[in-house]
């Protein structure tokens, strides 16, 4: 689905272009680019639906699924059914139960053999910050490129409180939406398509993350 179109002629646009390739109208970028939710791909309620990933250290409860991350500096994740998503809006709702917990989403998760690449956005409620990174890993080796690092935002709620983490992506444009507040627009064209997933992590100590639900929509 085309996400960006010219307001004058309706032709498809490439983000950052100086003018429309069809009607030659000059274009301005930045504040007016908005990716919105379209039709849903899926909706999960983790108080009744199984959490993708098959991890043993989880417990389904009346208010979601509790993920117990026993190792320090560790990430757990699980991929949803969609394998090749180029444009979409991926969101998870969760609660970091401990100061060392973080959680968020993977998008454009791509695998070749045992190697994987992905975009990751997570919130760190103890510090009320978020990060966006590109990650590549193979067996025991992980490579990370930071896109936005340790960005504070007042929309992020603290430990023990519910946070919604959403990454909207279309072509090379990414928008981070936290608790219904659009906090950043980023352009990056490193990875073009792939799967979508939840991710939860510990840092300097064991942590517990309560994931309540997840959903993905088409981008428009």
Instruction: Give yes or no: residues 106 and 1 share one domain.
Output: no
According to DSSP, residue 206 is labeled -
Instruction: Give yes or no: residues 123 and 175 share one domain.
Output: yes
pLDDT higher than threshold 70 for residue 28: no
Indicate whether this model's pTM tops 0.75. yes
Instruction: Give yes or no: residues 64 and 15 share one domain.
Output: no
Instruction: Give yes or no: residues 161 and 70 share one domain.
Output: yes
pLDDT higher than threshold 50 for residue 98: yes
pLDDT value, residue 158: 98
| Number of folded domains that form the chain | 2
Instruction: Give yes or no: residues 185 and 109 share one domain.
Output: yes
Q: How confident is the model at residue 16 (pLDDT cuts 50, 70, 90)?
A: low
pLDDT value, residue 33: 73
Instruction: Give yes or no: residues 2 and 97 share one domain.
Output: no
Instruction: Give yes or no: residues 127 and 142 share one domain.
Output: yes
Instruction: Give yes or no: residues 127 and 196 share one domain.
Output: yes
pLDDT higher than threshold 80 for residue 218: yes
pLDDT value, residue 82: 66
Instruction: Give yes or no: residues 74 and 90 share one domain.
Output: yes
C-alpha separations of 180 from 155, 166, 171, 175 in Å? 8, 8, 22, 12
pLDDT higher than threshold 50 for residue 1: no
Instruction: Give yes or no: residues 12 and 67 share one domain.
Output: no
Show the domain range for 22.
1-33
Instruction: Give yes or no: residues 185 and 97 share one domain.
Output: yes
CATH number of the domain bearing residue 91: 2.60.120.560
Q: How confident is the model at residue 131 (pLDDT cuts 50, 70, 90)?
A: very high
Cβ neighbours for 141, distance < 8 A, ≥ 6 positions apart: none
Mean pLDDT of the chain: 91
Instruction: Give yes or no: residues 26 and 75 share one domain.
Output: no
Q: How far apart are CA 25 and CA 55, in angstroms?
A: 52
Return the closest-CA partner of residue 191 out of 171, 175, 176: 171
């Amino acid at each position: 689905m085309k996400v960006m179109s010219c307001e004058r002629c309706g032709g498809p646009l490439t983000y950052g272009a100086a003018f429309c390739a069809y009607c030659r109208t000059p274009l301005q970028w930045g504040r007016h680019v908005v990716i919105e939710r379209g039709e849903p791909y899926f909706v999960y309620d983790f108080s009744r639906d199984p959490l993708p990933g098959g991890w043993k250290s989880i417990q389904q409860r009346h208010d979601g699924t509790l993920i117990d991350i026993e190792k320090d500096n560790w990430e757990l994740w699980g991929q949803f059914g969609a394998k090749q998503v180029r444009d979409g809006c991926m969101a998870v709702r969760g609660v970091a139960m401990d100061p060392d917990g973080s959680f968020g989403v993977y998008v454009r998760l791509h695998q070749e053999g045992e190697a994987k690449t992905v975009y990751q956005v997570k919130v760190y409620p103890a510090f009320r910050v978020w990060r966006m990174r590109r990650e590549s890993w193979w067996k025991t080796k992980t490579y990370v490129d930071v896109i936005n690092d340790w960005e504070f935002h007042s929309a992020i709620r603290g430990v023990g409180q519910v946070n919604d983490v959403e990454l909207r992506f279309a072509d090379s444009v990414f928008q981070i939406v936290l608790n219904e507040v659009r906090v950043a627009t980023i352009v990056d064209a490193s990875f073009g398509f792939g799967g979508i997933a939840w991710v939860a992590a510990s840092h300097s100590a064991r942590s517990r993350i309560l994931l309540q639900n997840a959903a993905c929509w088409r981008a428009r």
